[in-house]
Structure 1
Amino acid sequence: MRGYVGPQGAQIHYRTSGTRGPALVLFHESPQASNVFAPAMPALGRSLRAYAFDTPGYGQSDPPPEPPEIPGYARLLLDAIDALGIDEFAVAGQHTGASLALAVAGLAAPGRVTHAILSGLVLDRAERERLGATWAPDKPIDPAGEHLRDLWARYLDIWEQPPELVNLAVANIASVFERYNWAYRAAFRYDPTEPLRTAPCPVLLLTAARDMLAHCDDIARRIRPDATSIQLTDTTGQLPWRVPEEFAAAVVSFVTGSGRAP
């Protein structure tokens, strides 16, 4: 099921699956949308009440009037969670979504966030500065469509295969092209070190072996030595889309097992 919730006068789009069990809210990587979670939603919904949100300004969510920082995005998303009547919940996020998950956990009242499932936190300051300077420049829409060719080449390189997933990535970015880099830039300016250290809940680092940010798990384990760590499969990431049943099984086991994961 899909819907919209409108705190602060803006419509935030979400997908949901499941009617019983613990609540789980999911945040996607930039500059994608909640449709990257769609294949895993039925499996998550068998045991959880799962909600996957489009970050404000991405997918089908309205953009804020100005580009927010990560805490600003998190405030809008927490308002949406509140508007849906979700009390206690686990958070899960990939790349930018992992920073959003930690920021939401930091803003929520004590005890509300029960678990955090994170993939690809950018924890090294020098790497954040490098990515901020090079990864997401402003780009014009090319009259001949060359910007779309560039996007296809980029995502074919970093996501490899299958073409259906590359096409999804390009379509998601093309639909918000004028602001595709808003959340990227916010994420590269955000230091998740202290939010990770102080997150008041069990943490699972759930990553693919060849995810471009998999190496950040080593830093995360030093910051949060009590975290559980799983490399689920030998792919470039996008676990909910590529291996939805395995992704859901790991998440459900962690959330329902009081911090334990297989």
Structure 2
Amino acid sequence: MTDVLRRTYVDTSWGQVHAVTAGDGGPWIGLLHESPLSSEVWLDVARALAGRARVVAFDTPGYGASAPPPREGLELGDYAAVIAEACAALEMEAPIFAGVHTGAALAVELAHLVPGTAGIVLSGISLFSPEQRDEFIAGWTPPVPTDTEGAQFDWAVERYRRIWPELTPELLHVAAMQLLRVKDRYHWGYQAAFRHDPRELLRTATCPVLLLDAEHDMLAFADAEALELAQDGRLEILPGLPGQPHLRVPETYADHLVAFATECASSQKVTP
């Protein structure tokens, strides 16, 4: 059976951005992954959406198969501007942007950068206190140990066993392999996300906002504040999940995206 997924590259000011695409009709939905992974985390969601939407799952610059930023230390808004270039090249119209963790912050940026953005879906938006921000900046991205004994593999396995509860072999494989693919720069996008404060952008976003979160996500503490900030927001909790809703319940996640995209299109009087 032929897979519905297609892979494409788009030229940008930082080099080529890689994306997985699916679907030929319906609303445009852009999918944005967490650091330091890639569009691989969205494959099941993209397949579930393919008959109902036009899907683009991006590799954030520096991750997956996308070209890296020109240097370390650039800000998340810079990353978002390059993804916006890719959106324009792909001629995405009235898109919905859905993101997890770093991807959620990118979605908030894109709501201000991509004309006609119809809505944003945020799973684990990072609204850190100054103390939390300092803690993540200092401790979350240590160097990856590397030697011929395979220390890098042991390190990646231990990391995801620690930070992703109720880990399955499949989740461990995709997470560890995508991190190790970019091990020498895995911290670049992470650190940009930790420095980034999306509060003002979230407050001034004029499109609808869906907070779609796993009940026990490590960033779920921010949902109440995010709901207060959003002009037109609502919160939907996926019960019992420890995190990674797009990986653990992709069909359910896709159903929520389609329902939200349909509502947004209806409110704009746009036929998907």
**Normalising by structure 1, what TM-score?**
0.94
Alignment partners' CA distance in 1, 2:58 and 2:188: 17
Of 25, 43, 57, 2:62 maps to 57
Distance change in 2, residues 1:233/1:259 (3 Å): farther
Post-superposition shift, 1:221? Answer: 1.7
Amino acid at match of 2:175: A
Letter in 2 for 1:167: H
Residue pair 1:122, 1:128 contacting (<8 A) in 2 also? no
Shift of 1:226: 3.8
Q: 1:71-98 CA distances to partner (integer Å, 9 max, x unpaired)?
A: 1100110001111111321111100001
Q: Which amino acid aligns with 1:142?
A: D
Distance 2:14 2:81 in 1: 14
Is residue 18 of structure 1 aligned with residue 23 of structure 2?
yes
Q: 2:261 aligns with which of 242, 246, 255?
A: 255
The residue aligned with 2:270 is none
Q: Distance in 2 between matches of 1:24 and 1:219?
A: 25
Structure-1 residue corresponding to 2:218: 212
CA offsets per residue over residues 184-214 of structure 1, 9 Å max, x none? Answer: 1000111100011111200000111121111
Most deviating of 157-166 and 73-82: 157-166
Q: Could you give the per-residue CA deviations for residues 159-187 of structure 1, whole angstroms, max 9, x where no partner exists?
A: 23211111110000000000000001000
Q: 1:78 corresponds to which residue? A: 84
Correspondence list, 1:155-234, <5 A? 155-159=160-164, 160-224=166-230, 226-234=232-240
Structure 2 regions of 5+ residues with no counterpart?
Answer: 1-5, 267-272
**AA matched with 1:181:** H
Q: Summarize deviations over 1:230-256 as a string: whole Å, max 9, x none.
A: 111322222222111100001110110
CA distance 1:8–1:225, shift in 2 (3 Å): closer
How far apart, CA to CA, are the structure 1 residues paired with 2:61 and 2:29? Answer: 18
Amino acid at match of 2:125: L
Q: CA RMSD in A?
A: 1.6
Q: How many residue pairs were aligned?
A: 258
Aligned to 2:3: none
Query: Is the 8 Å Cα contact of residues 37 and 241 (structure 1) preserved in structure 2?
Result: yes
> Does the 8 A contact of 2:144 with 2:155 survive in 1?
no
Q: Distance in 2 between matches of 1:178 and 1:235?
A: 31
Q: Secondary structure of 2:13's match? A: helix
CA distance in 2, matches of 1:233, 1:69: 33
Unaligned runs of 5+ in 1: none
Letter in 1 for 2:118: T
Q: Aligned equivalents of 2:230 and 2:214: distance in 1?
A: 19
- Residue 195 and residue 9 in structure 1: after superposition, are their counterparts in 2 closer, same or farther (change >3 A)? closer
SS of 1:11's equivalent in the other structure is strand
Q: Which among 119, 125, 131 is matched to residue 121 of structure 1?
A: 125
Query: Residue 28 of structure 2 contacts residue 94 of structure 2 at CA under 8 Å; is this kept in 1?
Result: yes
* Larger CA deviation: 156-165 vs 191-200: 156-165
Identity of matched residues, % = 42
Structure 2 equivalent of residue 30 of structure 1: 35
Aligned letter for 2:11? Answer: G
Q: Give the Cα separation in 2 of the matches to 1:134 and 1:185.
A: 10
Q: CA deviation at 1:9?
A: 6.0
Contact 2:145 2:155 in 1 (8 A): no
The Cα shift of 1:259 comes to 8.2
2: CA distance between counterparts of 1:201 and 1:233?
26
Q: Give, in whole Å, the separation in 1 of the partners of 2:113 and 2:169.
A: 38
TM normalised by structure 2 equals 0.90
Is the Cα contact below 8 Å between 1:115 and 1:259 reproduced in 2? no
Cα pair 1:75 1:107 within 8 Å, conserved = yes
